[in-house]
Homo-oligomer: A and B are copies of this chain.
């Protein structure tokens, strides 16, 4: 877009938006507000914003002494811990770029990312050393490893070299640092897309992007100094969805769960209660199992002060209602992506619309991605790029434009096609916008099922399936069909107590309440688990491959 100069203002134009200032200023203004972090040994580490900032200045000094400087890329392999929080500010504040490494990616993909970014150092949690060790032989640009550990280096056994201890380099550094005034359009951090198709692609977020997103997040989700924010979303996913910055910006208490997986639901539940959490975040991939865990408890926690920001995929009504009924917690659906940051939309109650709903419609409405936050241009277009009406029916690809949306991928020849001439990012999501401006993602464009020239939404069908009491999880994909082009296939995981008690016909009958006869899946398969990608989404590409002959080989 052409930029037009107006009359000059009298502003301090040389003062740049700088993410590290968010903590520097936060420590000044909310010095005694608390940060809590669960350690690997199960104990809790507690300190304050002021303490954190002091360590961040030490970190900045120490990485400079490792010969890391402006423009260098530094890989980070870590859980959600207070040290990761420090790294969020300490590395980029010096002008280096924090390269967030998704610890669930395959080693081959990870080393590709490290090499593509030409990472100079890798910071790695002691519990994730095995990943660094596996990829190290292929990472030619890496000059050293900083191990995040409380142990002495001599007590660790690793073939990596040279290695440094995070705690040691911090304790040797002085707690004062003169932060450079980094140009705000310079890279703050890089995340790579998970790459379900093709190679992972790099998004290099500017300081400006992240700063604005933090402000937009805090303002739209009403995160305040009174809140306690529990950072459940992995901090290597889209900068932890921006929550750590938003919380710091307003001085909220912050809680990090440390290392956790689906076996630690009891611990997560305990933290929610014990720390008086009021805001948390997560994908249904973690929120659904969390609800299942809570469902089975004799004494269910009161989470009526908690709102969960739920993203990555559509929150099933059953999940939203379940949390509400069992714990009082509210689920707020939010939509974002690696390319567009976490908060593109938010589904909060708009008072002027509230009276328009009946109870059941309200729950259905909460499935929508929500209103588009101020700051972004969003449109839906057909295959020819023509903008579609906001009627809640017309399905088109969602295009995004705005100050914190990516305008390109880093060094990825051929990827230019994902951006339009007028500056929009093609999200790859198919969706509708209703007359009140609410976005609803129907499906990933490539996951929409085309049957006899008509579209079937796999997301809608999955949502309907998991609303059936017997069904724990479900995946719906389109499989090639000689007559109809594609026909839906449903994979279903039954709850233990319903196994052998449910028939496919019963499930079809349930679906028929919401779907037309021709939309119903030709096949329903009971499976033990649903295949997921490294970022926890249903791996539909692989599922389609596995079942590609199901309708053609008959």
Contacts and interface: CB of A to CB of B under 8 A. Distances in A.
A311 to B, nearest CB: 18
Nearest to A208: B11
Contacts of A223: 219
Interface in A187-203: 187-188, 202-203
28 contacts: A4-B70, A9-B209, A10-B187, A10-B408, A11-B206, A11-B208, A11-B404, A12-B405, A12-B407, A12-B425, A15-B403, A16-B403, A17-B212, A25-B372, A32-B436, A33-B352, A34-B352, A215-B215, A215-B216, A218-B218, A219-B219, A219-B223, A222-B222, A222-B224, A225-B349, A225-B350, A249-B374, A250-B374
Contacts of A225: 348-351
B406 A7 contact: no
A177 interface: no
A425 B350 CA distance: 40
Interface of A: 1-17, 21-22, 25-26, 28-34, 48, 70-71, 73, 95, 97, 180-183, 185-188, 202-206, 208-209, 212, 215-216, 218-220, 222-226, 246, 248-251, 253, 348-353, 371-376, 401-410, 423, 425, 436-437
A220 B437 CA distance: 26
A203 B12 CA distance: 11
A48 B351 CA distance: 13
Contact of A352 (B5, B30, B73): B30
Contacts of A206: 9, 11, 13
A212 B216 CA distance: 10
B219 A249 contact: yes
Given A4-B183, A22-B374, A48-B352, 19 more contacts: A1-B181, A3-B183, A5-B182, A6-B186, A6-B187, A7-B73, A7-B187, A8-B185, A10-B407, A10-B410, A11-B185, A11-B208, A25-B373, A212-B215, A215-B219, A218-B218, A219-B249, A251-B371, A253-B351
A26 B219 CA distance: 13
Contacts of A29: 371-374, 437
Contact of A9 (B7, B186, B218, B249): B186
A310 to B, nearest CB: 18
Given A6-B97, A11-B209, A25 B376 contact: yes
A29 B348 CA distance: 11
Contacts of A406: 10-12
B219 A9 contact: no
Contacts of A188: 9
A206 to B, nearest CB: 4
A411 to B, nearest CB: 9
Instruction: Tell me how many chains of this kind the complex includes.
Output: 2
Contacts of A185: 8-9, 11, 13
Contacts of A216: 215
A32 B434 CA distance: 13
A225 B349 CA distance: 8
A475 B199 CA distance: 71
Contacts of A376: 25
A401 B15 contact: yes
B25 A353 contact: no
Nearest to A16: B3
Interface centre among A48, A205, A250 (most CB of B within 10 A): A250
B250 A220 contact: yes
Contacts of A407: 10-14
Nearest to A348: B225
Nearest to A253: B351
Given A13-B407, A203-B10, A206-B11, A183 B28 contact: no
Given A16-B3, A410-B10, A33 B187 contact: no
A215 B373 CA distance: 12
Nearest to A406: B10
A7 B189 CA distance: 10
A183 B5 contact: yes
Given A10-B204, A348-B225, A352-B34, A4 B182 contact: yes
A2 B409 CA distance: 29
Contacts of A73: 7
Contact of A5 (B186, B202, B353): B186
A350 B9 contact: no
B402 A7 contact: no
A90 to B, nearest CB: 15
A511 B376 CA distance: 56
A28 B253 CA distance: 33
Given A6-B70, A181-B4, A17 B95 contact: no
Contacts of A22: 374
Contacts of A220: 250
* 4 cross-chain pairs, A with B, having the tightest CB-CB distances, nearest first: A6-B186, A9-B206, A32-B352, A12-B407
